[in-house]
Amino acid sequence: MPLRSNAQPRRPARRSGRPFRSGLLLVLAATTLAAVPASAATLQGRVTRVVDGDTVKVEVRGVETTVRLVGIDTPETVRPGTPVECFGPAASARTKHLLRPGQAVRLVTDPTQDVRDRYGRLLAYVYEAGRAGARASVNYALVAGGYAKVDVYEGRPFVAAPAFFRAQHRARVARAGLWGPACNGNTTKPALISRRAPKPAPRPAGGCNPNYRPCVPNSASDLDCEDIGHQVTVVGTDVYHLDGDGDGKACESYG
């Protein structure tokens, strides 16, 4: 008769879940960090057109990309369903003056911010060729001149925020731009559109540009809606970049 043993059978060893959990945490951490670049990226390009005060189109490596100037916000002028806001046309005109089609620019991302926003636009500081530093960007120039307000997205300060806030304070004290009597800092109210007849532009033989109806004069230089003074329909190529939202209707605020 076999002897009975009081020894209990060995249970299989339980595997600890710690290695799995640790690995999962590492993956999640890597995913979170990937949303914000570890360092700034720099791209070279050429301006194709200005959409509004804080958004431009730039050709980079043969591909046109939409660039949202990081750290600032200008009054709306082309947003669907939104009226043209106070000082919006002036801000757009200033950006068009600073960034002309064909101009070489350098785009620098901010390591504290996402590379692109929810609309897919590249978030960057925009520099004219040969310029560098927080106060040399077009972004900074627009704030310093009173054409834009500082914009901190989701409470996450960008690298140049201290310099931008100082520039905004000076513009506000000086009542420059949108801080002046026209808006008093309240850019959400509708813009006051001047109804004065535009100054006549030089018209070479040929008169009206065939790309627009009604008449938009031929011009050797770029024209803005303020130069034209009325709504127009784009029937060909938008050579003067008047149709900001691409719907075929330009200068809609003058309608």
One domain for residues 128 and 201: no
Whether 36 maps to a domain, the answer reads no
Alpha helices, H only, 6-80: 18-34
CA-CA distance, 172 to 178, in Å (whole number)? 9
pLDDT at position 189 is 79
Determine which of 53-62, 70-79, 171-180, 188-197 has the lowest per-residue pLDDT on average: 188-197
One domain for residues 173 and 229: no
CATH of the domain at 98: 2.40.50.90
One domain for residues 49 and 162: yes
22-49 residues labelled b (16+ CB within 10 A) or e (exposed): eeeeeeeeeeeeeeeeeeeeebebebbb
CA-CA distance, 116 to 67, in Å (whole number)? 9
One domain for residues 175 and 199: no
CA-CA distance, 32 to 224, in Å (whole number)? 43
pLDDT at residue 9 is higher than 60:
no
Task: Encode pLDDT of 217-239 as tens digits.
Answer: 888 777 777 777 788 888 888 88
Q: Domain range for residue 241?
A: 193-255
One domain for residues 89 and 172: yes
The two three-digit tokens of residue 62, written as one number: 């043969």
Position with higher pLDDT, 207 vs 26: 207
Q: What is the mean pLDDT of residues 56-70?
A: 97
Residues 6+ apart with CB under 8 A from 66: 51, 55, 56, 57, 119, 120, 121, 122
Residue 254 banded pLDDT, cuts 50, 70, 90: low
From residue 95, give the alpha-carbon distance in Å to each of 10, 35, 144, 154.
77, 29, 13, 25
Task: Encode pLDDT of 204-218 as tens digits.
Answer: 435 888 888 888 888
Task: Encode pLDDT of 100-143 as tens digits.
Answer: 999 999 999 999 999 999 999 999 999 998 888 889 999 999 99
Last residue of a domain, one of 146, 179, 212: 179
Closest CA relative to residue 143, chosen from 105, 119, 123, 171:
171
pLDDT at residue 11 is higher than 50:
yes
Alpha helices, H only, 83-235: 88-98, 138-144, 161-173, 225-228
Whether 207 maps to a domain, the answer reads yes
One domain for residues 156 and 254: no
Whether 79 maps to a domain, the answer reads yes
pLDDT at residue 25 is higher than 70:
no
pLDDT at residue 243 is higher than 80:
no
Contact 244, 223 (CB under 8 A): no
Whether 89 maps to a domain, the answer reads yes
Whether 155 maps to a domain, the answer reads yes
Position with higher pLDDT, 26 vs 146: 146
pLDDT at position 5 is 45
pLDDT at position 115 is 96
The values of phi and psi at residue 49, to 5°, are -170, 160
One domain for residues 53 and 139: yes
How many structural domains are present in the chain? 2
One domain for residues 168 and 107: yes
From residue 163, give the alpha-carbon distance in Å to each of 38, 111, 168.
22, 16, 9
Q: Which residues pair with 60 in a beta bridge?
A: 63
pLDDT at residue 50 is higher than 90:
yes
Whether 150 maps to a domain, the answer reads yes
Last residue of a domain, one of 144, 179, 214: 179
Provide the mean pLDDT of the chain.
82
pLDDT at position 10 is 54
One domain for residues 171 and 220: no
One domain for residues 85 and 155: yes
One domain for residues 118 and 56: yes
pLDDT at residue 184 is higher than 60:
yes
One domain for residues 141 and 229: no
pLDDT at position 29 is 36
Q: Which residues pair with 109 in a beta bridge?
A: none
pLDDT at position 22 is 45
Residues designated catalytic? 68, 76, 121
Residue 193 banded pLDDT, cuts 50, 70, 90: low
